[in-house]
Chain A
Amino acid sequence: MKNIFLLAVVLLVSTSAFAQKKNAKVSFEVDGVCMMCKQRIEKAALKTKGVKYAKWDVNTHELSLIIDERKTNTEVVKKTIAGVGHDTKDFKAPKEAYDNLHECCKYRDEQVKEDHKKPKK
């Protein structure tokens, strides 16, 4: 009996902790280097059903999202973003997608990274 009660409490707590919010703020890192990447990442994120707002910071590489948790979750968004060629911690972009990127966006290449670090005129 006691066990069942405990279980119920645990279930209740966990569901309330994971309540699905209509406007949930989430953010994670997405690899990329330039403004073209920014456009591609944000576009891919927005095209994911349930993503309402997407902003990628070119300096910090952080993608800030507002999502409808009833319709999507970060895993789905990460997968979509990997699909257009950008890595996240959990999903690496497939080779074909990465190879399709514009030369300037090859963020895995140290040389390209260096080029973008140069101060802008």
Chain B
Amino acid sequence: MKNKFLISICLLIPSMFFAQQALIGTIKDKNNPKKNSGIFGANVYWLHTSVGVTTDQKGEFKIPYKKEYQKLVISFVGYKSDTITVNSLTPVRHYLTESNTLEEVAVSAKKSSTQRSYLQTQNLVTINSDELLKAACCNLSESFETNPSIDVNFSDALTGTKQIQMLGLTSPYLLITQENIPSIRGAAQVFGLTFTPGTWVESIQITKGAGSVVNGFESISGQINTELVKPSTNHKFYLNVYGAVGGRLELNTHFNQKVSEKWQTGLYVHGNYRGEKFDKNNDNFLDNPLAEQINVMNRWQYTNAEKGWVSFINFRYLDDSKQVGEINFNPEVDKGSSTVWGSEIKTKRFDTSLKIGYVFPEMPFQNMGFQADYSNHKQDSYFGLRDYNIQHQSFYSNFIFSSIIGDTRNKFKTGVSFTYDKYEEFVSTVMNPNFDRKENSIGTFFEYAYDNADNLSVTAGLRLDHHNLLGTFVTPRLHMRYVPWGRGVLRASVGRGKRSANIFAENQQLFASSRAIIIENAGGNIYGLDPEVAWNYGVSFLQGYKFFGRKGDVTFDFYQTNFSNQVVVDWENPQEISFYNLEGKSIANSFQVEMNQNIIPYFNTRFSYKFYDVSADYKSGNLAKALQAKHRFFANVSYETKKEESDASWKFDVTYNWIGEQRLPNTNNQLPKYSDSYNLLNTQITKVFSKKFEVYAGAENITNYKQKNPILGSDNPFGANFDTTIIYAPVFGSNFYAGLRFKID
């Protein structure tokens, strides 16, 4: 009897104990806190247990509590799961935030400053803002210095503009997009990269080989997309000041402001100025242009996570002017003179764009997007006695719908795009100096992506375009990714691209020479020439590994671009430049091996060797592409000290480039057949004082390597031998700079 009594007491006590110990609470939507009803059906459970309940229609719950339970997990589909610590039985009131799928796509993870993707089907490298800060300066064309996939060349001896190359092909063969809207094309081709200030860039995605069909048919050797800073994620105030011994001053300010619950805006102002004259090589020509640029962007961001809408509206205005030529050239007096040679390049550009994205609230895998962009790019310039003016107005729009077939292993994107380009071009010194043309195209695309959620993914895309000058044509693109074993990724791609070559805008350096311009009219639609068509094939293998416990990876890339038609730019006659349709072969082969190795925490190295075999059939026979190094070696070493509590740290970065010999075009023996190989060394040190403030200083081209004879015939710029186009090495020599960054959040 006594026993029974005891047992019953024992049973009673814990059950009473449990009965009392229950935690109650309410779960609500953070974006809609005033709404009385909470979230219905949210899961509430204790971490690492099977004790869980769901909320009722008011968002309320009651869950058994034990002392051992400490972490309460709250989750609901479409919202970010939260884990909260519970120490007492005080009723819980918790707000869940809706997870925004659109934002997740745009913002890249910040784990490593450069990331080679293991998961993407395409051969994609992401450079985020940390990597961009490794080379402080200054605009998009200089943002690739620490990335071996992109080579930086110099377009001419006068402006010193850096031109980028990928797979051995210059930027016109790359599709350069800004937030997935084609941006640097047409008239903006040569200087366009210098018109995007570095601080505006949030991250860059580089895709090697044929790109996606979603963004058009123009990409041939790859795609570079830049994501700009966004009002919602950028600092409230940001200031960047830069000054170089070479006389270059830059100023960047950002202001970001929340306007209302759903609207945010940002104003970004950039200015740069170079007013000092340098002639270190005593050729009587400015080594660097005198330059001024004002660049203003205003962004509006609308986010309604609850309903699934995201939108961006951009306005941008640019005014850039450069003066190059002889050191004592004064444009007000000497413009049009045939005694003092000088040149001015003035560019004004207005840009506006709209993006709207919608994610179906009930279906996170289904969304729609619409992009539209209008730009007006106007360049007025003269080079000695040659005038070159171009105005390019462009309208672009693209509608994309993406969803799944059955489940998320089978995804598709489809849509319609429309483009309109109006060119008004004037080139003096040719027979018919006006080259006006209008291009428009309408196209539709379908891209299917299969992913077995394990080791195989395939993306197959097809687009059909009707273009008034290029005709009606099909653009196929195929990408494949296969994981044969752990941390090994094999990729392959094949695709076709087609474009109209803007022969003058893309080869503007020709105007600063005495070369006669010859266009061999073949009755085509663009300057009498045919559109360029090429196939690109590539394979790539990435292997991640651990070496003495330190992470590393190695990548082998092989790509071939095979032109079935190309507008050949022939520099082989020193008195002429001629453009003609390719007859025969034009092939660009590239091979790259890249290794990333972590040595000790915060100490990383990157090495790369690149081999390019680029050749084409010219009138004078098959020749290797001029001013293209066959072999290149790249190394980058970076070290960061561990962050202190105040966030203070030091960052060190060194980049080394070895550029092999390059074939020079025929110059009637003024220059040798091949250039010498040379080394370039850059370094930067950053001292971070706190989250708010940091200063940096750096040196470019420390070994002070300069091309000896950058301007041919500089003693007589109006004579027959004047030529500034044969540039294989820096003109300016070493440069030292310093700057600061200040931010308020």
A interface with B by C-beta (< 8 Å): 23, 25-29, 39, 42-43, 46, 51-54, 57, 59-60, 62, 64-66, 89
Contact = CB atoms under 8 A, between A and B. Distances in A.
B457 to A, nearest CB: 13
5 contacts: A23-B362, A28-B43, A29-B50, A52-B407, A89-B50
A23 B406 CA distance: 11
B412 to A, nearest CB: 14
B73 A66 contact: no
Given A29-B45, A43-B454, A64-B77, 13 more contacts: A23-B362, A27-B77, A39-B453, A39-B454, A43-B453, A52-B406, A52-B407, A53-B404, A54-B408, A59-B83, A62-B43, A62-B75, A65-B77
B580 to A, nearest CB: 54
Contacts of A51: 407
Contacts of B77: 25-27, 64-66
Contacts of A46: 407-409, 453
Contacts of B408: 46, 52-54
Nearest to A51: B407
A90 to B, nearest CB: 10
B488 interface: no
B363 interface: yes
Most buried by A among B52, B406, B452: B406
B435 interface: no
The interface residues of chain A, by DSSP majority, are classed as: strand
B78 interface: yes
A108 B409 CA distance: 29
Contacts of A59: 81, 83
B365 interface: yes
A50 B363 CA distance: 14
Interface of B: 43, 45, 47, 50, 52, 73, 75-78, 81, 83, 362-365, 404, 406-409, 452-454
Contacts of A42: 453
Nearest to B365: A53
Contacts of B43: 27-28, 62
B362 A25 contact: yes
Nearest to B405: A52
Interface of B is mostly: loop
B363 A66 contact: yes
B407 A53 contact: yes
A66 B404 CA distance: 12
Contacts of B73: 60, 62
A27 B96 CA distance: 16
Of B363, B407, B452, most A-chain CB atoms within 10 Å: B407
Contacts of A28: 43
Nearest to B78: A25
A57 B75 contact: yes
Interface centre among B77, B81, B409 (most CB of A within 10 A): B77
Contacts of A60: 47, 73, 75, 81, 83
B437 to A, nearest CB: 47
A45 to B, nearest CB: 9
Contacts of A62: 43, 73, 75, 81
Given A23-B363, A62-B81, A52 B453 contact: no
Contacts of B365: 52-53, 66
Leading 3 A-B pairs by shortest Cβ distance: A25-B77, A43-B453, A64-B77
Contacts of B52: 29
A69 B435 CA distance: 62
Contacts of A39: 453-454
Contacts of A23: 362-363
Contacts of B50: 29, 89
B601 to A, nearest CB: 8
A25 to B, nearest CB: 4
A105 to B, nearest CB: 14
A60 B82 CA distance: 9
Contacts of A57: 75, 81
B159 to A, nearest CB: 46
Contacts of A65: 77
B219 to A, nearest CB: 31
A60 B75 CA distance: 9
A62 B76 CA distance: 9
Nearest to A62: B75
Nearest to B551: A121
Contacts of B363: 23, 52-53, 66
Contacts of B404: 52-53
A34 B47 CA distance: 16
A21 B733 CA distance: 69
Nearest to B364: A53
